[in-house]
Amino acid sequence: MTGEYERRKADRQQLAREWQPGEPLPTIAYTEEEDALWETVTAKLSSLHHEVACANYRRAADAVVLNRQRVPQLAEVSPVLTELTGFHLRPAEGTVPAKRFLGTFADSGFYATQYLRPAASPYHSPEPDVLHELVGHAVMLGDPVFADLYRAFGRAARRISTPDAMRELVHVFWFAMETGVVYENGRPRVCGAALLSSVAEMESLDKVQLRAFDTADIVAQDFDDSDCMPVLFAAESVDHLVTEVRRFLTRL
């Protein structure tokens, strides 16, 4: 089964590698097993979103309606985002170098993988897969507040030129847009794509060490994205998170 998974993944990576801007987005022939995995995981995620996702995300999820019975195609989701916030999706072979990945946001573009996590690890994926891209990032990109913040990260990525500055930018992106947490009505709520697309992360939220959202602390905090986060940074609200991130980007 591992060999079959790797073969499918390689085929989809090849399609992304061959794609050129202006061409139609690749169409993936997902298997019945993959559609069933998508249906199972997204049902569980949706239930958790009602409990722990921030209000901005829940509103965006009502606008970016993802098919629950099968894996959606990027070509189905991208026009919805374009109509809502101007963003569009681009196929990614895998993890994209940080400067290009983040810099593309300035053009309202987002690189998204099209392979699905293996059935053996349905509730947490150590690498970005199509479930992470669509349930996490694409829905966030349907929210005007988050979409504008993605664009701000993109402009910063294009502006900076030193490895140290890029490292700091990646750290703040990780703890704000991938594993971000905000307080709503006195309770922590998830607003980061890596958390929103991981059952394991959301189920362990009450066991995580939550620190105040401070970009100076964030850039000093190491992280390992192959496992659930032991430490997260919680802003007082979405507005507070946006304000602090924009202040950091202006200084960078």
Which of 93, 178, 201, 244 is an active site residue? Answer: 178
Q: Are 113 and 94 a contacting pair, CB within 8 Å? A: yes
DSSP string, 76-89: HHHHHHHHHHS-EE
Spatial distance between the Cα atoms of 97 and 103, rounded to a whole number of angstroms: 10
Which of 93, 125, 132, 198 is an active site residue? Answer: 132
DSSP assignment letter at 163: H
Amino acid at 199: V
Residue 124 falls in the annotated catalytic set = no
Which of 34, 88, 125, 197 is an active site residue? Answer: 197
Residue 240 falls in the annotated catalytic set = no
Q: Is 235 left (phi over 0), alpha (psi -120 to 50) or beta?
A: beta
Residue 178 falls in the annotated catalytic set = yes
Residue 133 falls in the annotated catalytic set = no
* Cα 108 versus chain centre, distance: 15
Spatial distance between the Cα atoms of 13 and 2, rounded to a whole number of angstroms: 16
Amino acid at 51: E
Give the H/E segment covering residue 181.
strand 181-184
Q: Are 16 and 152 a contacting pair, CB within 8 Å? A: no
Closest CA to 54 of 170, 171, 145: 145
Helix/strand/coil (H/E/C) assignment for every residue in 3-30: HHHHHHHHHHHHHHHHCCCCCCCCCCCC
Give the H/E segment covering residue 234.
strand 231-235
- Positions marked catalytic: 132, 137, 178, 197
